[in-house]
Amino acid sequence: MNRWVLAILLVLAAALITALVSIARVNNFLEQPANIDEAGLEIVIEPGSSFGRVSADLARLRVIEHPDWFRWYARLTGKAASVRAGQYRLASGDSPADILQKFVVGEVELHSFTIVEGWTYRELIAAMAQSEIIRSSIVYEDWPSILQQFGATEGHPEGLFLPETYRFPKFTTDLEVLGQANDLMRDALAEEWQYRDATVPLDDPYDALILASIIEKETARVDERTRISGVFIRRLYKGMRLQTDPTVIYGIGESFDGNITRRHLKTDTPYNTYTRKGLPPTPIALPGRASIHAALNPAPGDELYFVATGIGDGSHKFSTTKLEHDAAVREYLARQRANRRN
């Protein structure tokens, strides 16, 4: 055999052996457990992060020993471009290949965020802006374009988002949260409307949403929602004004200082149910499903009035006549004065 041919064959054989050894080392690196203790490790991939940055972070945390191998493997397999942002929990025993697969399928930690019953839309936007898990992308004044994106026909955002506890990955945007809450509210409202008491004098589901928001602001007690609904429904039947303070407060807006006065009750706004008959033009808060159900399924009875008892449990005194109601109001005021003296 020619000496040169033999030399070339030896070089090729050496190169092949080196390549096989390298492949074996890389495979061993990918399949062996990474350096993660039993408590596990949390790692966050920020939106827009390059895979090189991800590899470097894992090396800095001493999770992997060969970030270059990890990066090359991810790029050669096309997985580097599919890594999803989010917060991940790496477990003891995870190999680099396991870790990469978690990043690709988006096996992220889920976080909880609760939209509270009775919040206004403004309060919801503020709460999302303060959240460490939600990525802020909108402000309160953006609501016209938001409603347009959601295909909403309503002219105001109040009441259109279902109070519930939502679970989602870190860096979910506030707009995505609103979209989910809006979908769930429409589903809940449609279902409750389908099984409503057909005698209630409400023209459409939006009217039910408005009334539900008033009920939500009037009481948090489960045992009172349908009774309060009954009072309002009977008032609507009779053409009486609803005369409910929460609507007046909503009409005052951000200037309200927490103290409602007779002047407030006499100052006309579209939301003043002391000066105007019927429902206000929009909801005044985000009602929960229980309040929606109560609005569409009022308790029977003759009661036309209610006032807080002032005994500290959120309860109300219900009355059928104005005379009884006036006595209940005096009792409430007397209790308030006694509480202030004590």
Domain boundary residue among 105, 134, 164?
105
Query: Is there a single domain that holds both residue 86 and residue 184?
Result: no
- Could you tell me if residue 341 is inside a domain? no
Which DSSP state fits 167? E
Whole-number Å distance between alpha carbons of 192 and 300: 18
Query: Is there a single domain that holds both residue 129 and residue 258?
Result: yes
What pLDDT score does 30 carry? 78
Structure token pair of residue 167: 């679970």
pLDDT band at 315 (very low <50, low <70, confident <90, very high): very high
Say yes or no to pLDDT of 5 above 70.
Answer: no
Task: Tell me phi and psi for residue 298, to 5 degrees.
Answer: -70, 150
Query: Is there a single domain that holds both residue 157 and residue 296?
Result: yes
- Could you tell me if residue 231 is inside a domain? yes
Query: Is there a single domain that holds both residue 246 and residue 183?
Result: yes
- Could you tell me if residue 332 is inside a domain? no
Q: What is the pLDDT of residues 22-52, one digit of tens each?
A: 555 666 777 888 888 888 889 999 888 899 9
- Could you tell me if residue 12 is inside a domain? no
Query: Is there a single domain that holds both residue 53 and residue 171?
Result: no
Whole-number Å distance between alpha carbons of 53 and 324: 72
Give whole-number Cα distances, 164 to 114, 161, 295, in Å: 6, 9, 19
Structure-token match 């403004």, residue found:
122
Whole-number Å distance between alpha carbons of 75 and 87: 22
Domain that holds residue 54: 32-105
Whole-number Å distance between alpha carbons of 110 and 179: 18
Q: What is the pLDDT of residues 162-217, one digit of tens each?
A: 999 999 999 999 999 999 999 999 999 999 999 999 999 999 999 999 999 999 99
Domain boundary residue among 65, 85, 105?
105
- Could you tell me if residue 233 is inside a domain? yes
Query: Is there a single domain that holds both residue 78 and residue 168?
Result: no
Structure token pair of residue 130: 């303060």
Give whole-number Cα distances, 78 to 71, 74, 81, 83, 304, in Å: 11, 6, 6, 10, 69
- Could you tell me if residue 328 is inside a domain? no
* In the chain, % of residues over pLDDT 90: 71
Domain boundary residue among 105, 127, 154?
105
Query: Is there a single domain that holds both residue 198 and residue 80?
Result: no
Query: Is there a single domain that holds both residue 152 and residue 239?
Result: yes
Q: Is 159 exposed, middle or buried (0-12, 13-18, 19+ CB in 10 A)?
A: buried
Query: Is there a single domain that holds both residue 216 and residue 163?
Result: yes
pTM, two decimal places: 0.85
Report the CATH number at residue 61.
3.30.1490.480
- Could you tell me if residue 129 is inside a domain? yes
- Could you tell me if residue 310 is inside a domain? no
Query: Is there a single domain that holds both residue 287 and residue 147?
Result: yes
- What's the domain count of the chain? 2
Query: Is there a single domain that holds both residue 192 and residue 49?
Result: no
Query: Is there a single domain that holds both residue 183 and residue 165?
Result: yes
